Amino acid sequence: MLWVGLSGGIGSGKSTVSARLARLGAVVVDSDRLAREVVEPGMPALAAIVERFGPAVVGSDGALDRAALGAVVFADEQARLHLEAITHPRIAARTRQLAAAAPQDAVVVHDIPLLVELDRAADYALTVIVDVPQEERLRRLVDLRGVGEAEARRRIAAQATDEQRRAAADVLLDNAGTVEELHDRVDRLWAGRLVPFEANLRAGTGSRRPETVELVGPDPAWRPAAVRLLARLGGALESAAVRLDHVGSTSVPGLRAKDVIDLQVVVEHLAVLDDPGVRDRLRTRGLVVEEGHGRWDHAHGTGTTGGQTWPKRMVSSADPARVVHCHVRPASSPAWRLALLLRDWLTAEEGERDAYAGLKEGFARSGLQASDYATAKEPWFAAAVPRAEAWAARTGWDVGDA
């Protein structure tokens, strides 16, 4: 099962996307519908709402008067938080029930308006945000829904900003155009990413880089993507993660690289990746533990000998559109410190960064295959580590906080 979060600001057209995904075959769990269900007459949540906000929020038929309640909570942040404390736990419980009932090969789309506001992006394998500029959403609320402009502005202001949503988005669906254009974007997302993502995840297969080495970038999308992925890893590993970092070439500003995001997680013991609970939480977030390869680092630095290795494990993303190599290293391994040192040294030293870029470009031009690329760079690393250590001693560098 692939667990996808879908969100967008009020007036963005999120429901149109949700309906299209359902038509394509997704199992849609609609938070708005569940929010209505949990406050139906006779439900405990409605009684709690009346107790908190008074009988004026209930109509003559005994049902919740949404307009009356909305007028209160959109104008008062504390009131909105009280409402959420009543409804959200009940909605969450029903959401879990529906997701658990979905077929094993399902793409389950959680249509949740407050995904960003609730800081839920790291709970999903993929977060899809329907993107429409705020002024266009305001126009739609006023012209198409008949909401007064002042009230529409209050509702928009009560939600996350456009910038916050974009930072949370693995996929940003532009809906500033026609419905037909939006449908086309959703169809391509479904066939090109969601369906193969689910298949990879069910098979326990991480997405692989192409065998032909191609350098791109530097890409400003790498850093925010790494932040989102690290949050997912942290959510899956919980307290077992000692620290989480973006490492490798995509973490060095200005450096061309393969479009592969390298991450590092430090744990006390590598056996944590064999915990069924950890594996389930990783899978929910679109991540799989690699078996049979990537179980060691070449040792470099003072006191090491040729051929010496340090243990590690690998976690990959099953997302076909985002290749991720997560190096899980024990706290006892010197490799995790070296990864941070090399990142910061290359960031600080332009000449060393340029020399490394030239080496990489040469390998790419030679037609070197990706499976041989890492090995080919090892002599450079062996020579570079003493220079990086000298820089660290000269500048007082330390690993700092994650």
| Residue ranges matching CATH 3.40.50.300 in the chain | 2-203
212 is in an annotated binding site: no
Confidence at residue 33, expressed as pLDDT on a 0 to 100 scale: 92
CA distances from 96 to 85, 93, 101 (A): 17, 5, 9
Give the residue carrying structure tokens 């470099």: 300
Contact between 266 and 336 (Cβ < 8 Å): yes
Q: What pLDDT was estimated at residue 303?
A: 66
| Strand pairing category for 126-131 and 171-174 | parallel
Total count of residues recorded for the chain: 402
206 labelled as ligand-binding?
Answer: no
For residues 26 and 12, what is the distance between their CA atoms, to the nearest angstrom?
Answer: 20
Residues 6+ positions from 226 with CB-CB distance below 8 Å: 246, 250, 251, 261, 263
Angle, vertex CA 76, rays to CA 80 and CA 40, nearest 5: 35
DSSP state of 248: S
Q: Which residues contact 264 (CB under 8 A, 6 or more apart)?
A: 244, 245, 246, 247, 326, 327, 328, 329, 336, 339, 340
pLDDT per residue over 64-123, tens digit each? 998 899 888 878 889 989 998 999 899 999 999 999 999 999 999 999 988 999 899 999
367 is in an annotated binding site: no
The pTM of the full predicted model, rounded to 2 decimals, is 0.88
pLDDT on residue 209? 79
Give the CATH fold of the 2-203 domain. Rossmann fold (3.40.50)
12 SS3 class: coil
Beta bridge partners of 315: 289, 326
CATH 3.30.460.10 residue spans of the chain: 222-395
Nearest in space to 93 (alpha carbons), one of 160, 37, 168, 52? 37
Which CATH architecture does the domain made up of 222-395 adopt? 2-Layer Sandwich (3.30)
What local confidence, expressed as pLDDT, does residue 287 receive?
A: 98
Give pLDDT < 70 ranges for the chain: 293-294, 303, 402
Is residue 316 annotated as involved in ligand binding? no
Question: Between the CA of residue 6 and those of 18, 112, 187, 210, 341, what are the distances in Å?
Answer: 8, 6, 15, 29, 38
Residue 12 marked ligand-binding = yes
DSSP 64: B
Which pLDDT tens digit goes with each residue over 231-264? 999 999 999 999 999 999 999 999 999 999 999 9
11 is in an annotated binding site: yes
State the first-to-last Cα distance of the chain, in angstroms, to the nearest integer. Answer: 31
